[in-house]
Structure 1
Amino acid sequence: MNRLAAFKHISAQAARGELAFPTNVAASLKLQQALNDPDCHADTAVKLIQADPLMAARTVAIANSVAYNRSGTQISGVRPAVQRLGVRTLQSLVAALIVRQLGSTITDPALKTMASQLWEHTAHVAALAQVIARRVTHVDPDTALFTGIVHEVGGFYILSRAQEFPGIMDGYPEDWVEHGEVEIGRGVLRKLNMPEAVMNSVEAMWEGLRALPPENLGDTLLLANDLAPVPSPLHQPPGATTRAGARTIDFVVGDGTLDDILRESDEEVKSLIAVLML
């Protein structure tokens, strides 16, 4: 099967909801479903997270990050971490775990390198989206963080399937964009029961149309994606390694500028990225 036929085959499966996830994703999906329940009590969330050592460690780490620890008081337990973060942020952490687990079964060195770069890009986008939401667009920062985490989930899915179709990720990124990104991305997001606002914002990024200054969640995601210093390996020409030129984007925000906000928020962004990269 050639590359384009393979993209179309996986896209058709995604459209039908026939998605093959690694086995370690199943437990995380159950945790996500529990946290999505509006009746989920904090005690239930604590017990679910304590049952997963990796999730427990990440929950405490992000609760102690600059972004969420305004007082500077360090905590060491899951319960106070859950109380500080709230269910919305926990949903983002579980989403991050699911996205990373999609790439955990990859053994091919080239694909592993792509997955690693894609996650680094994702962490930057998520952290930047949270800051831009809070300081610029004034949309919900938790939703912006969550959307940044899942915006490339279709890419992680195709990388998790790529070993079944040798050579599918060779060549130029336009092939992925044209023949797989939207259909596969949409299918995976639906399978993960993403909220409509998140779905719409990711689709806005695929369309590539945004306002400057940004106005809504879709604009927030697009700007964060443009500003991320690490590019997605699924959208960059061969040999390209940085997007430093995007850092020239600037505009007035109140009494300051976007550049002022990014410099003021640099420690916060780095703290969030460090936690997501754990």
Structure 2
Amino acid sequence: MDRLHALKTIAAEAQRGELAFPTNVEATLGLQRALANPDCHLDAAARLVQAEPLLAARTVAIANSVAYNPAGREVTNVATAVQRIGFRALGALTASVVARQLAGQIREPSLRAKADQLWQHSASVAALSQVIARRVSHVDADTAMFAGIVHEVGGFYMLSRAAEFPGLLDDCADEWITHGEVAIGRAVLRKLDVPAPVTGAIEALWNGLRALPPETLGDTLLLANDLASVRSPLHERPGASSASAAATVDFAIGDGTLAKVLEESADEVRSLAAALS
């Protein structure tokens, strides 16, 4: 089976809802649904999070990041961490565990390297999205972080399937965008029950439409993607870099500029990206 046919095959399966998720991912999706239940209160949420070690560790790490802990008061338990970050941020972290679990299924070294880079990219976009939302576009910051975490989840799914199709992702960025990303991405986002506003923002990213200064969640996500310190291994463009984007994308914000906001928020972005990683 040639590469293009393989991409179309996986995309067709995804459109039919035939997504092959590992058992641990299915379990995390069940946890996500439980946490999203309006009747799930703080104590119950903390117990659910504690049952998933990776999620528990990420929750405490995020709660202690500069973005959520500007006063430097460290928390050491899940219940306090959940209370500090809130349910929306917790939903974003649950989605991040799904992506990490998909990446964890990959054994082939070159694919694993792509998955690791894709996660570092996602963490960078999520951290930047949170800061840009809070300080520039003034959309909900936790929703923006969530969008950053899940914007490449279709790519993680593709990487988890790539071992079945040798050479599937070798130098295929254009084919992936045309035949894979949209169909597979939409299907995985549906499986994750990603809210419509977040899905719409990711669709805007796929379409490459952005206003400057950013006004919407989609604008916020696309700007963060352009400024991310780690590029996506599935969308590498010759000469593309966060440094070149930062040098060319700047605009006035009140009494300052985007560059000034990013400089002032550098510790927040680094701390949040590290906690997600």
Pairwise same-fold verdict (TM > 0.5)? yes
**Residue type of the alignment partner of 1:244:** A
CA distance in 2, matches of 1:102, 1:57: 18
- Corresponding residue of 2:94: 94
How far 1:50 moved relative to its partner?
A: 1.2
CA distance in 2, matches of 1:104, 1:83: 29
How far 1:138 moved relative to its partner?
A: 0.3
- Corresponding residue of 2:213: 213
- Corresponding residue of 2:128: 128
How far 1:237 moved relative to its partner?
A: 4.0
1:4-83 map, 5 Å: 4-83=4-83
- Corresponding residue of 1:106: 106
- Corresponding residue of 1:177: 177
How far 1:83 moved relative to its partner?
A: 1.1
Residues 263 and 189 (structure 1), Cα distance of their counterparts in 2 relative to 1, 3 Å cut = same
Query: What RMSD, in angstroms, separates the aligned Cα atoms of the two structures?
Result: 1.2
- Corresponding residue of 1:247: 246
Which deviates the most, 145-154 or 28-37? 28-37
- Give the 3-state SS of the residue equivalent to 1:24 in structure 2: helix
**Residue type of the alignment partner of 2:103:** G
How far 1:241 moved relative to its partner?
A: 7.7
CA distance in 2, matches of 1:39, 1:255: 44
- Give the 3-state SS of the residue equivalent to 1:143 in structure 2: helix
TM-score, reference length from structure 1: 0.97
Q: Deviations over 1:195-240 (max 9, x none)?
A: 00011000000000111111100000000000012110100147x6
- Give the 3-state SS of the residue equivalent to 2:104 in structure 1: coil
How far 1:35 moved relative to its partner?
A: 1.3
- Corresponding residue of 1:152: 152
User: Does 2:232 align with 1:232?
Assistant: yes
CA distance in 2, matches of 1:112, 1:65: 27
Gaps in structure 1 of 5+ consecutive residues: none
CA distance in 2, matches of 1:275, 1:106: 22
Aligned residues: 276
**Residue type of the alignment partner of 1:166:** P
CA distance in 2, matches of 1:174, 1:110: 19
TM-score, reference length from structure 2: 0.97
Structure 2 contact 95–192 (Cα < 8 Å) conserved = no
Structure 1 contact 172–237 (Cα < 8 Å) conserved = no
Structure 2 contact 91–146 (Cα < 8 Å) conserved = yes
Residues 241 and 214 (structure 1), Cα distance of their counterparts in 2 relative to 1, 3 Å cut = closer
Segments of 4+ moved more than 4 angstroms: none
**Residue type of the alignment partner of 1:41:** H
How far 1:246 moved relative to its partner?
A: 0.6
How far 1:54 moved relative to its partner?
A: 2.1
**Residue type of the alignment partner of 1:48:** L
Which deviates the most, 48-57 or 192-201? 48-57
**Residue type of the alignment partner of 2:246:** R
- Give the 3-state SS of the residue equivalent to 1:103 in structure 2: helix
**Residue type of the alignment partner of 1:72:** G
CA distance in 1, matches of 2:110, 2:135: 38
- Corresponding residue of 1:271: 271
CA distance in 1, matches of 2:172, 2:105: 24
**Residue type of the alignment partner of 1:95:** A
CA distance in 2, matches of 1:129, 1:53: 26
